[in-house]
Amino acid sequence: MLEFLQFTLSGISFGAVYAAVALSLVLIWRGTRILNFAQGAMAMFTTYIALEVIRGTGSYWAGFAVALAAGLVFGALAEVTVIRPVEGKPPLNAVIVTIGLLVLVEGLAGIIYGGQYRSFPAAFTVTGLRAGRSPLGISWFDVFTVLAVLAAAAALAAGFRYTTAGLRLRATAFDARIARLLGVRVGRVLTLGWALAGLLGALAGLLISPSTFLYPNSMDSIFVFGFTAAVIGGLDSPAGAVAGGLILGVLLSYAGGYLGSELTPLAGLVILALVLTFRPDGLFAGVRLRRV
């Protein structure tokens, strides 16, 4: 029973990170109908930047802030330079371009920082929390992880709901052509969407790296789990992405805990296959449109 509780709690902590990645993918998907395969790699790179800053200044929070800012800039830069030309083209072109971006960023990280595993500091202590005498399997940093992601999601939801920029983002996601006719500068709005997604990705990288170590491929599996979470949520729904991330985190934690940690990726594959087979529009899809 205690074991079950431990798996659940650590699953929620990992799930929060998957939710952050999923949310960043959903943001981009809603705006541009592109799945950014480079999201994880960009997050890996911003985490390296954070590590450099932390080493230089000695302050964790300086590195944290710089990484988030770098995520914003990278997201916007990626959209303006390589994504703009493939927007509205057949989906395969964009897939290949973002895969190219993924490999490019990972190769650059390997060239600049080398391939060795580096440890990344956590904001708070990573020693396990205890309830009475029994360990809970999570730490204050895990609590911070969950809270940070939920806060980011809430801020995003509020921004979408109450700001003009949020309204423009929603209008563009709903129908770019009509939004443009109504005077929305669609290009800028899409850039903003990518920038916000870059920020969320950077947050995910900062939160997961203390437990996975940092190396050029460190975000690969986090990305595919984030993608799985986004698909569980339906790729179109921000709330679904957060829920999907938490569900996936808990399920994978059970699979890893009870069946062996080597099977975690395989469990992810099984979950993705099941969702895509039975609910291809996600567990939380809204009204289903007729498909021919």
Partner 1 sequence: MSRHLGAAALVAILVALLSIRLTQFRDFQMAQVAVYVTAVAGLTVLTGLSGQISLGNGAFMAIGGYGTALLLLHLAWPLAAVLAASAAIAALAGALVGAATARLHGPYLAGATLLLAVALPSLTYKYPGVFGGEQGLNVTVSAPGSVPLTRWQAWITCGCALLTLVLLANLSASRIGRNWRAVRDDEVAAALAGVNVAWARILAFVVSAACAGLAGSLLAVTTGLVAPTDFTVTLSVALLTGAVIGGLGSLAGAVWGSLLVVLVPTYATDVATSHGLSSAVGSNIPVAAYGVVLIVVMLVFPNGIQGGLRRLAARVVPSPRRDEPVPAEMNNTAVRNASREASHEEIPKTPARRRARGRIGGGGRRLRLLEHERQQQLGRADGLGAGDHQQRDPDR
Query: In whole angstroms, how close is the CB of 99 to partner 1 at the nearest point?
Result: 6
Number of residues that bind partner 1 (CB under 8 A): 57
Indicate whether 211 belongs to the interface with partner 1 (CB under 8 A): no
Alpha carbon distance 70, 42 (integer Å): 9
Angle between helices 186-212 and 140-162 (to 10 degrees): 170
Query: In whole angstroms, how close is the CB of 273 to partner 1 at the nearest point?
Result: 5
Query: In whole angstroms, how close is the CB of 46 to partner 1 at the nearest point?
Result: 17
The owner of tokens 């595919």 is 224
For the segment 12-71, give every residue that binds partner 1 (CB under 8 A).
Answer: 29, 33-35, 37
Alpha carbon distance 53, 60 (integer Å): 8
Binding partner 1 (rule: CB under 8 A), the pick from 60, 73, 87, 93 is 93
Alpha carbon distance 173, 236 (integer Å): 9
DSSP H or E stretch at residue 81: none
Query: In whole angstroms, how close is the CB of 45 to partner 1 at the nearest point?
Result: 12
Indicate whether 197 belongs to the interface with partner 1 (CB under 8 A): no
Indicate whether 228 belongs to the interface with partner 1 (CB under 8 A): yes
Indicate whether 110 belongs to the interface with partner 1 (CB under 8 A): yes
Return the number of the residue (28 or 148) whose C-beta is nearest partner 1. 28
The one-character DSSP state at 132 is T
Alpha carbon distance 21, 196 (integer Å): 12
Query: In whole angstroms, how close is the CB of 51 to partner 1 at the nearest point?
Result: 17
CB 79 within 8 Å of CB 194: yes
Indicate whether 170 belongs to the interface with partner 1 (CB under 8 A): no
Indicate whether 108 belongs to the interface with partner 1 (CB under 8 A): yes
Return the number of other C-beta atoms located less than 10 Å from residue 123's C-beta.
17
Indicate whether 90 belongs to the interface with partner 1 (CB under 8 A): yes
Binding partner 1 (rule: CB under 8 A), the pick from 59, 107, 134, 147 is 107
CA angle (124, 126, 131) in 5-degree steps? 105
Binding partner 1 (rule: CB under 8 A), the pick from 150, 171, 221, 254 is 221
Instruction: Select the span of 7-15, 63-71, 92-100, 187-195 touching partner 1 (CB under 8 A).
Output: 92-100
Distances in Å between the Cα of 183 and the Cα atoms of 167, 175, 176 are 12, 13, 11
- Give the phi and the psi of residue 237 in degrees, each rounded to 5: -120, 115
Query: In whole angstroms, how close is the CB of 65 to partner 1 at the nearest point?
Result: 28
- Binding to partner 1 by CB under 8 A, coded x per residue (else -) over 247-266, reads -------------x-xxxxx
Handedness of CA 147, 209, 257, 233 (dihedral sign): positive
Indicate whether 131 belongs to the interface with partner 1 (CB under 8 A): no
The one-character DSSP state at 266 is H
Alpha carbon distance 5, 1 (integer Å): 6
Interacting residues toward partner 1 by CB under 8 A:
29, 33-35, 37, 82, 85-86, 89-97, 99-108, 110-111, 114-115, 216-217, 220-221, 224, 227-228, 231, 235, 260, 262-266, 268-269, 272-273, 276-277, 280, 289-292
